[in-house]
Structure 1
Amino acid sequence: MSKVSYYTAEGLKKLRDELKQLKDIERPRASQAIAEARDKGDLSENAEYDAAKEAQGLLEMKISKLEETLAGARLIDESQLDTSKVLVLSTVKIKNQTNGMEMTYTLVADGEADLASGKISVNSPIGKGLLGKSVGEVAEVKVPNGVMKFDILEISR
């Protein structure tokens, strides 16, 4: 049974595009590499053939994993989300109580997380600590060296 995960329309499109790329372009390319290696003679001592077969196996595993992810993927209807609490797709402005630093993160599904663009996974330690909190509350996040406390300053979509 596949695990249900929630995606934005953009994230879902990205997954589908990647799967299409793997199936329509990479899979035929792997088959072609195997055919070329097979044409070079004795398969028992053909390292190129072995490498091509291994690459094909890895590609098929990646395709299978993507198909499983897509089977459990659900599109999030942003209009139905409550803006008073931190949920998936919430953009949250937080302040670290220890050093006073303010940060803004958008909580997204695992597959869409990208720290460089301020998107963190709802399953990350900070994401889990922020979920369900409201403005004015303190989120306590367990990290390897203790507990970090963040003030929730603002929640938006």
Structure 2
Amino acid sequence: MPVEKVFPMTQKGKEKLEQELEQLKMVKRKEVVERIKIARSFGDLSENSEYDSAKEEQAFVEGRITTLENMVRNAKIIKEDEMNSDTVTLGKNVTFQELPDGEEETYTIVGSAEADPFDGKISNDSPIAKSLLGKAVGDEVNVQTPGGEMNVKIIKIH
């Protein structure tokens, strides 16, 4: 039996996934089934784009439910007391400045399940996070990104 992937995340991140899962199971799934019923009433299913669209949405919803169930089942909660306050670790906020004179940026390092760059949360699997993990305030770090290489200095960990 293959070993299932563990999804490191904060308690808040797990709760957010559980809420999305509940919404999909209790609301969205029922809406899609109703769309399929209505589309079936339009007749010939071979030329029914409404039916095809509803079935595609159903496949997406069921796939997302399966993914979320797996993530929640295999979640490893990152506890505050497990975090070293002097180094960049999962669950920490890190502020860094791109060298030589870039603006300061702050991100929270989270597990891939809760990553949301638009909300300032980057995955521990991302090139930036991988480069910053284990480093301390004052460290200068070379980060290899798909867009090229950049050098950053860690300003604050909180």
TM-score (norm 1): 0.86
- What SS class does the counterpart of residue 86 from structure 2 fall into? coil
Shift of the 93–46 alpha-carbon distance from structure 1 to 2, 3 Å rule, reads closer
For 2:49, the equivalent position in structure 1 comes to: 47
Q: Which runs of 5+ in 2 are unaligned?
A: none
For 1:67, the equivalent position in structure 2 comes to: 69
CA distance in structure 2 between the partners assigned to 1:47 and 1:114 by the alignment: 33
Aligned residues: 156
Task: Render the CA deviation track for 1:53-82: whole Å, top value 9, x for unaligned.
Answer: 222122211211211222221111112211
CA distance in structure 2 between the partners assigned to 1:43 and 1:85 by the alignment: 59
TM-score (norm 2): 0.86
Report runs of 4+ in structure 1 exceeding 6 Å deviation: none
Residue 20 of structure 2 corresponds to residue 33 of structure 1:
no
Equivalent residues in 2 for 1:1-157 (5 A)? Answer: 1-144=3-146, 146-156=148-158
CA-atom RMSD, angstroms? Answer: 1.9
Deviation at 1:120, TM superposition (A): 1.9
Whether contact under 8 Å (2:71, 2:113) holds in the other structure is: no
Shift of the 127–36 alpha-carbon distance from structure 1 to 2, 3 Å rule, reads same
CA distance in structure 2 between the partners assigned to 1:65 and 1:135 by the alignment: 36
